[in-house]
């Protein structure tokens, strides 16, 4: 993958990827408990693509240097400890609380989170259904498949916002516009995962999730799983029929099987939202402006960071 050098330099200096304040607050609360469990911390962290990728990046760095690459959040949290996770959450909270330059009118972070989590849940469900024995790997790949969108948004906020506004109803045109800006989000996501030493299968599943399905029919299982999960996790109703056809062509799932997968994934995603005190809205109705609950969570995040700073 070739990138324009000046823009590549901006991407490589990336320090913070945004996270919903609801998740950051829950994570800091879990890390601050005297008797908090590593399992509780990891169960929160694994619900967010930004936090997950930062913890795994730290775990697989030269400082910790595990002999085998870690791609399981619970194992990663056990290795780095709650203090390191808390520091990641604090850095993310500070960024979210005080970054005044970021415009989120057309990039909806909540909608991004909904789609990423639903794709992850579907990837795990599909992996179990087809007896792929790495369901945790499938979940993580689904969770991070669109991480390149966050990278584009953070590194090129105004140009990317303009593209999102211009091509909101035309996905293919948006992909072409991303390429003209620097690279497609799936290219950037795959490049980052390779740079951060994830397994090649993981980066491949990110790289190929926008290919024509005819090119996926003979792909590796993880690539197929994330591809179908992404198709089924789409918000727009008009894409539903195409998603069902994709699941049938690749895995021979019938309509009833796909509807069962969607029912279970919707229920699980809603339960996660409630556990993290994220206001539940059907994704197609998520607003472009924050609700009162969202604003309250951001205010709580700012106060938490102020308390940490004073301490």
Chain-centroid distance of CA 40 in Å reads: 19
Whole-angstrom Cα distance, residue 255 to residue 21?
37
Whole-angstrom Cα distance, residue 184 to residue 166?
16
Architecture of domain 5-310: Orthogonal Bundle (1.10)
- 297-to-26, 97, 286 alpha-carbon distances in Å: 11, 10, 17
Please list, in sequence order, all residues whose beta carbon lies within 8 angstroms of the beta carbon of residue 232, skipping any fewer than 6 positions away.
122, 243, 246, 247, 258, 261, 262, 265
Domain ranges of the chain: 5-310
pLDDT tens figures, 75-130: 888 888 888 887 777 776 665 655 555 555 667 888 888 899 999 999 999 999 99
pLDDT of residue 219: 92
- Answer for the pair 205, 225: CB distance below 8 angstroms, yes or no: yes
Q: What is the mean pLDDT of the chain?
A: 81
pLDDT tens figures, 24-33: 888 888 887 7
- What distance separates the 2 farthest-apart alpha carbons in the chain? 58
pLDDT of residue 259: 94
pLDDT tens figures, 119-170: 999 999 999 999 999 898 999 999 999 999 988 888 888 898 889 888 877 8
pLDDT of residue 255: 93
pLDDT tens figures, 263-302: 999 999 999 888 887 776 655 555 555 566 666 666 666 6
pLDDT tens figures, 8-21: 666 765 556 778 77
State in Å, rounded, how far the first CA of the chain is from the last one: 45
The alpha carbons of the chain give a radius of gyration, in whole angstroms, of 19
Whole-angstrom Cα distance, residue 275 to residue 117?
14
Cα angle 127, 130, 135 (rounded to 5 degrees) comes to 20
Residue whose structure tokens are 């990827």 = 17
């Amino acid at each position: 993958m070739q990138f324009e050098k000046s823009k590549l330099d901006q991407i490589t200096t990336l320090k913070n990827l945004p996270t919903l304040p609801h998740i950051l607050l829950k994570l800091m609360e879990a890390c601050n408990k005297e008797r908090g469990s590593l399992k509780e911390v990891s169960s929160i962290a694994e619900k967010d693509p930004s936090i997950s990728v930062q913890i795994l990046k730290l775990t697989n760095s030269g400082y910790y240097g595990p002999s085998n690459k870690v791609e399981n959040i619970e194992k990663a949290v056990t290795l780095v400890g709650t203090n390191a996770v808390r520091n990641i959450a604090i850095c993310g909270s500070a960024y979210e609380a005080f970054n005044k330059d970021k415009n989120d009118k057309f990039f909806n972070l909540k909608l991004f989170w909904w789609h990423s989590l639903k794709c992850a849940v579907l990837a795990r469900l599909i992996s179990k259904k087809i007896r792929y024995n790495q369901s945790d790997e499938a979940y993580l790949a689904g969770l991070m498949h669109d991480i390149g969108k966050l990278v584009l948004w953070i590194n090129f906020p105004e140009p990317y916002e303009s593209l999102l506004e211009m091509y909101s109803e035309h996905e293919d045109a948006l992909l072409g516009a991303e390429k003209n800006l620097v690279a497609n989000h799936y290219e950037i996501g795959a490049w980052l995962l390779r740079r951060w030493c994830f397994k090649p299968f993981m980066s491949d599943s990110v790289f190929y999730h926008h290919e024509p399905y005819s090119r996926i029919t003979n792909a590796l299982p993880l690539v197929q799983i994330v591809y179908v999960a992404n198709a089924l996790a789409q918000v727009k109703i008009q894409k539903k029929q195409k998603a069902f056809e994709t699941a049938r062509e690749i895995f021979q799932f019938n309509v009833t099987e796909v509807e069962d997968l969607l029912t279970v994934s919707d229920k699980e995603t809603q339960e996660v939202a409630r556990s993290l005190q994220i206001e539940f809205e059907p994704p197609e109705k998520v607003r472009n402006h924050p609700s009162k609950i969202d604003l309250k969570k951001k205010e709580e995040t700012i106060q938490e960071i102020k308390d940490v700073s004073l301490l």
